[in-house]
Chains A and B, each alone.
Chain A
């Protein structure tokens, strides 16, 4: 009885250390010519194509489902399920899409205009997370089998830019399985579409074990020339070192998010190629700036005071975060818009040096001379070094007397908490698939109504700004529209709606012979991968 054996945990701890060390010496094994083993920090949140407007989810779904148009590596729009698109010559409020002929869904059903109409209905439904991209849509109509009219509430000259993550589903399949409404992700709903798919994409779902492994097989009946990759094995690996070890040991072929500390080492490793590039994504802090009470500070809300928001901005040392946490792999800025985006303004993106004395004086002016205590929520498996950024900011805030308790959680808990408005001070990243500021405004700045403001955790409410944002959708004079965008950004910066940290940079690593270009939206597509 008193004889004791070492605990399993201890052995596991050591085994993982040994494994990591052992893989350093293992030589590269050649990739199977047809299978691509793909590792990323996290899994898709769901396979329902209209349920979670989130990068990794859309990236995986692009392999199974297809959109009307897609975004090329240079940012331009490319035909996909639609071959042509234009504004109706007689009615500027109608978009005309000519559809690709001879496309079939994975279950064999033909792709027709009715499917697009059903998908428009579904993506504008109440539980859709993408409805913010389709707020101007009045309805869709199938003119013939291969022509669709999407009727807008008014002229919407840039609507087609919103369609790069709009996945088309089969009408018959939707009805047969009773999935007319998208899965309500933030309510934690389970639905047939979460684990079952029927798209037109180049790959079909073979098997899926969420958070463990997803296998996709090539769709022989796809309309495009057959891709070189015939099988995709997608594996989420949360731990940075384990992900790199998996690539070095030959367990995976492609790592989508190389930890910043390992870029240099991997670049110098024979048999591995690292590709870096900027991502169209901002990383920022949001705080509830209108409520009277915070969840973690009942009866008080310091963020309501402009001085407190300014003090926070003066505390954040972006250069130190870039230097130490990001190892130079980020572009710090003050404007919550990546340089890729229409409406980006370098002058507004400029940031000053931290000034703790001034920050303390501002806090005192706001009535918080002794600081305050608040919860800071942070994901730990979504953005590059997300938890480390939060930790660093907790330290910086501590220096002016703000005691932040760091609540660091998986994105599967973090994101619904933001959408359900259960957290009031948090880190978030925002990519801009439309390459236009309106996307940022619609989701993050506009007050919560009619499908807009779904991610506006700042609870920013400004009727004047709301009206300006609404006007962007229908403004046909692009010069005037750009001027409105500039005005909105000016107001957003004045009111300090966000505390912007930086634009994220990407680093992909793949075995030699696998050619994967860095996609500005971080949505690489395996059908475009070339083996050499």
Chain B
């Protein structure tokens, strides 16, 4: 109770309450995340189980009965008879899972390498930061495509479908770690020279302990900001890869896959297949992005 009240009174909460954009963005993100997480219980159908699909339901327009089966779907169906609403919910769940996991992966990797570089300095720092520079000179989607291509060659076809999601996570994660590493390195270098760290070193605290208990908590602010914006980027990266046809298998469509499928029917009049998943992706990516922007401003002492 006490903690809750303290949190409510904190600067961050105050800034949040007074930012309508942040409140709306948080509400939209939370709604989508909740709907996605609960999709197995709230979705009308399970689009990832091909056995439940009725092909004759294919191309049903929203809110109109199918010409053959008479079934009605709120947002219509795609070319395989998948309910678009259910597919968006399941697809968003997949996109969010990939997004969160990829960010977590790149965060752990980036923080670890950033702390090592910032703390050790010298040639370790130079080596890690030059690797980061090289990677930054490529668009991250290219790196993800490269990792995906290598994984395709290494993994036998029989396991590709089950491994596809994990390959996506690693591919996106590996292409985004640099942001974390650079910020953490900078912050760690600043903290390293401060008196309290010097004091800890003088009394003989183990370096690993200093890094973990003194430096890490002090670099978490910026990391949180990058993680939020990184989440939006990861969701878009997943959608892009799936849109290009290298992401998840076609029987488990994510939002990007659905948009790719829908793109084939742009000219023939089945607008709902591409429109609704695009809106869902836009809403999700935009709201998470706006939250990240707000967090950045709120945590920036110079803007106060």
Chain A contacts to B: CB under 8 angstroms? 1-2, 4, 6-10, 12-13, 16-17, 20-21, 24, 239-241, 244-245, 248, 259, 261-262, 264-265, 295-296, 317, 320-321, 323-325, 375, 377, 380, 387-388, 391-392, 394-399, 405-408, 423
Contacts and interface: CB of A to CB of B under 8 A. Distances in A.
A486 B222 CA distance: 76
Nearest to B278: A17
The 10 residue pairs across chains A and B that have the minimum distance between CB atoms: A398-B51, A9-B240, A395-B50, A261-B268, A324-B58, A9-B141, A320-B55, A395-B53, A240-B264, A398-B50
Q: Which of B139, B179, B236, B266 gathers most chain A CB within 10 Å? A: B266
A425 to B, nearest CB: 12
B56 interface: yes
Contacts of A317: 55
Interface residues of B, number: 56
A261 B269 CA distance: 9
B225 A324 contact: no
Contacts of A261: 264-265, 267-268, 270
B243 interface: yes
Interface of B: 49-53, 55-56, 58-59, 68, 79-81, 139-141, 157-158, 160-162, 179, 182-183, 186, 222, 225-226, 229, 233, 236-237, 239-241, 243, 245, 249-251, 256, 259, 263-270, 274, 278, 285, 289, 292, 296
Contact of A396 (B55, B249, B264, B269): B55
Contacts of B58: 324-325
A321 B161 contact: no
Contacts of B241: 9
B259 A13 contact: yes
B233 A7 contact: yes
Contacts of A321: 55
Contacts of B179: 1
Given A17-B263, A20-B263, A395-B53, A8 B68 contact: no
> Which of B158, B263, B268, B274: most chain A Cβ within 10 A?
B268
A10 B232 CA distance: 11
Nearest to B234: A7
B141 A239 contact: no
Given A13-B259, A17-B263, A406-B161, A391 B80 contact: yes
Contacts, number: 137
Nearest to A385: B79
Given A9-B241, A387-B250, 16 more contacts: A4-B233, A4-B289, A7-B240, A9-B139, A9-B237, A241-B266, A241-B267, A259-B264, A261-B265, A261-B270, A395-B50, A395-B51, A398-B50, A399-B51, A405-B249, A407-B160
Given A1-B182, A7-B236, A398-B50, A324 B249 contact: no
16 contacts: A2-B222, A4-B229, A4-B292, A9-B139, A9-B241, A10-B285, A12-B240, A17-B278, A320-B55, A320-B56, A323-B56, A324-B81, A325-B79, A380-B245, A394-B50, A395-B52
Contacts of B266: 17, 20-21, 241
Most buried by B among A8, A12, A241, A408: A241
A387 B237 CA distance: 24
Contact of B183 (A1, A9, A324, A392): A1
A246 to B, nearest CB: 12
Most A CB within 10 A of own CB, among B80, B183, B229: B80
A16 B262 CA distance: 13
A408 B250 contact: yes
Given A12-B240, A398-B50, A2 B296 contact: yes
A247 to B, nearest CB: 10
B268 A265 contact: yes
Contacts of A241: 263-267
Nearest to B230: A4
Main secondary structure of the interface of A (DSSP, over half): helix
Contacts of B49: 398
Contacts of A264: 268
Contacts of B80: 388, 391-392, 395
Nearest to B59: A324
A314 B222 CA distance: 60
Contacts of B53: 395
A239 B264 contact: yes
A375 B233 CA distance: 33
A388 B140 CA distance: 31
B56 A375 contact: no
Given A2-B296, A264-B268, A395-B80, A7 B161 contact: no
Contact of B250 (A9, A13, A391): A391
Contacts of A17: 263, 266, 274, 278
A8 B139 contact: yes
B251 A394 contact: yes
Contact of B161 (A8, A245, A248, A407): A407
Nearest to A21: B266
Contacts of A8: 139, 141
B267 A395 contact: no
A377 B270 CA distance: 28
A387 to B, nearest CB: 6
Contacts of A12: 240
A22 to B, nearest CB: 11
A399 B54 CA distance: 10
Contacts of A406: 161, 249-251
A244 to B, nearest CB: 5
Contacts of B265: 241, 261
A20 B262 CA distance: 12
Nearest to A375: B158
Contacts of A397: 51
A7 B267 contact: no
Given A395-B50, A407-B161, A2 B226 contact: yes
B264 A395 contact: no
A423 B81 CA distance: 28
B225 A2 contact: yes
Q: Which of B51, B183, B265, B278 has the largest number of chain A CB atoms within 10 A?
A: B51
B50 A13 contact: no
A257 to B, nearest CB: 13
Nearest to A376: B251
Nearest to A321: B55
Contact of B55 (A377, A395, A408): A395
Given A9-B141, A10-B240, A239 B55 contact: no
